[in-house]
Amino acid sequence: MKVTFVAQGAPAAAMPRLVVRVVEQGKLPHGLETAVADAARASRFSGKLGQVFESFSGGGSDLRRNVLVGIGEPTAEGRLAAFEQAGAAVTARYLASGETGAAYDLGGSTITAAEAAALVLGTVLRGWRYDVYRTRLAEERKATLAEVTVVGAPAGAEAAWASEAAVVAGVSFARELVTEPANIIYPESFVERCRRLEALGVEITVLDKAAMTALGMGSLLGVSQGSVREPRILAMRWKGADAEKPTAFVGKGVTFDTGGISIKPAAGMEDMKWDMGGAAAVAGAMLALATRKAKADVVGICGLVENMPDGAAQRPGDVVTSMSGQTIEVINTDAEGRLVLCDAITWTQKEFAPATIVDLATLTGAMIISLGHEHGGVFSNDDALADALLAAGKTSGDKLWRFPLGAAYDKLIDSPIADMKNIGPRYGGSITAAQFIQRFVDKGVAWAHCDIAGMVWADKPGATWDKGATGFGVRLLDRYVRDVLEG
């Protein structure tokens, strides 16, 4: 969606006929035409968050659609989120309306540059659609809204939007990767999609099956051995600043997960194309950071495999040796994400020696049972890191909730014949998964694990997304970099 900023008083002929004004709850804008104000009141429009009112004026070539959108009664803490949701509400209403453009009239308002940028951010994010494979989409369902014009924005708004536009690019890329079917996005093609980052200055390193075999990545390779799609590890390095040690983001990239020999039920298995949502978030975040030239040293790692059942697939009861040398008894082949992450994290530490690691993974169904689709879970060995991620989640809207770690949980994955099992008992499933990953984190490395199983895909529209891929995790990581690494 194209975004243009113009000064107040621009020629009316150059403006879209759809004109939007932002309204705080109970405060209709000064200068509003009496007829419009009366109609709004008669329609019980009060400016509640996301509430939209429309009226018409003029006729013929002078026809105008006059829209009011509410931001509610936002607190100082929640003002940006309110503007973001208001912009998204406008898009949800008019994306397929036949209108090709919309104008926000901010002239004479007290809206700040950051609030104006948030308004546009919500508008553009909610407009993301992926209709590549639709050949019979009804005309009235086709997206038409393609341009947003901001009139009379405060000083600095356009610069603020430029930074947010980079985040939109990252979220859109993550959504694209998650949305594509597994016959289109698999380990090799995922890597090729990410090659676009090289043009932005991102250094890309790829490990193929032979390289991983030589490194002793028996845990990751065990997951992939039932598939004809070869695994890959993708490393994306953005060095926007000199740092003693980089920060690493590691994503689980199971491009399709049947469960392997411990096969999943058929109903709903098509959803498992999004089991690479953690890797997609990492790739999207790296695109955002490189696009806005973030002043930070960050490496993004994606462990990419496909988990399939065939005659070569690993079996429940098999023992594999990870790159770290630790052995794992594979009790359930559907607990595969942790088997991918452990080798990816070990390699990340040996190759890049990061001070901090944050991993993102659609790891456990237990997380959805715990938190539904409202928060991702976060586990950490470092309180400062956990607090920073929680704060970043609150600011960005990619919300997290912290869970415990502890020795009592750790004992639940001890194996009688190997160093550990890949799964514990039914209860505490998300915690034992995190305990498993923690065993591969080197001493002195600050680490956090984000279980985002309930967040990367939505069965119903949300504030800034339609049904489908949400792009969760991109804004979280970008905000963490802004707050912690860039200061």
CA distances to 363, 415, 421 from 412, in Å: 18, 9, 9
Mapped to the 3 state alphabet, what secondary structure does 371-426 carry? HCCCCEEEEECCHHHHHHHHHHHHHHCCCEEECCCCHHHHHHHCCCCCCEECCCCC
> What is the pLDDT, as a whole number, of residue 13?
59
Mean of pLDDT values over 139-143: 92
> What is the pLDDT, as a whole number, of residue 29?
79
Least-confidence region, from 57-71, 200-214, 231-245: 57-71
44 labelled catalytic: no
Please, how many CA atoms are within 13 Å of residue 255, restricted to the half-sphere of its CB? Answer: 27
CA distances to 44, 71, 105 from 41, in Å: 5, 16, 20
The whole-angstrom separation of Cα 423 and Cα 345 is 18
Mean of pLDDT values over 410-428: 97
CATH superfamily of the 2-152 domain = Leucine Aminopeptidase, subunit E, domain 1 (3.40.220.10)
384 vs 107: which has the higher pLDDT: 384
Token code pair at residue 163: 């930074």
Q: Could you report the per-residue pLDDT of 425-480, keeping only the tens digit for each? A: 999 999 999 999 999 999 999 999 999 999 999 999 998 999 999 999 999 999 99
> What is the pLDDT, as a whole number, of residue 257?
98
The whole-angstrom separation of Cα 465 and Cα 424 is 35
- Annotated catalytic residue within 48, 129, 239, 264: 264
- Annotated catalytic residue within 79, 338, 421, 475: 338
> What is the pLDDT, as a whole number, of residue 15?
81
The whole-angstrom separation of Cα 93 and Cα 401 is 32
> What is the pLDDT, as a whole number, of residue 301?
98
Q: Could you report the per-residue pLDDT of 355-412, keeping only the tens digit for each? A: 999 999 999 999 999 999 999 999 999 999 999 999 999 999 999 999 999 999 999 9
Token code pair at residue 409: 């949980």
Mean of pLDDT values over 239-252: 97
CATH for 169-485 is: 3.40.630.10
> What is the pLDDT, as a whole number, of residue 62?
81
264 labelled catalytic: yes
Q: Could you report the per-residue pLDDT of 114-137, keeping only the tens digit for each? A: 999 999 999 999 999 999 999 999
Q: Could you report the per-residue pLDDT of 301-327, keeping only the tens digit for each? A: 999 999 999 999 999 999 999 999 999
> What is the pLDDT, as a whole number, of residue 476?
98
The whole-angstrom separation of Cα 244 and Cα 355 is 9
The whole-angstrom separation of Cα 34 and Cα 52 is 18
Contacts of 259 (CB under 8 A, 6+ apart): 307, 309, 333, 334, 336
Beta partners for residue 232, in sequence order: 304
pLDDT beyond 90 at 74 = no
| Domain limits, CATH 3.40.220.10, in the chain | 2-152
Token code pair at residue 99: 């209108």
Q: Where are the alpha helices (DSSP H) in 96-186?
A: 113-126, 157-179
Mean of pLDDT values over 321-335: 98
> What is the pLDDT, as a whole number, of residue 206?
98
> What is the pLDDT, as a whole number, of residue 12?
59
| Domain limits, CATH 3.40.630.10, in the chain | 169-485
Residue 11 binned pLDDT confidence (cut-offs 50, 70, 90): low
> What is the pLDDT, as a whole number, of residue 294?
98
> What is the pLDDT, as a whole number, of residue 428?
96
Token code pair at residue 273: 């194309």
Supply the mean pLDDT for the chain.
95
The whole-angstrom separation of Cα 275 and Cα 289 is 23
pTM of the predicted structure, to 2 decimals: 0.96
pLDDT beyond 90 at 481 = yes
The whole-angstrom separation of Cα 216 and Cα 324 is 8
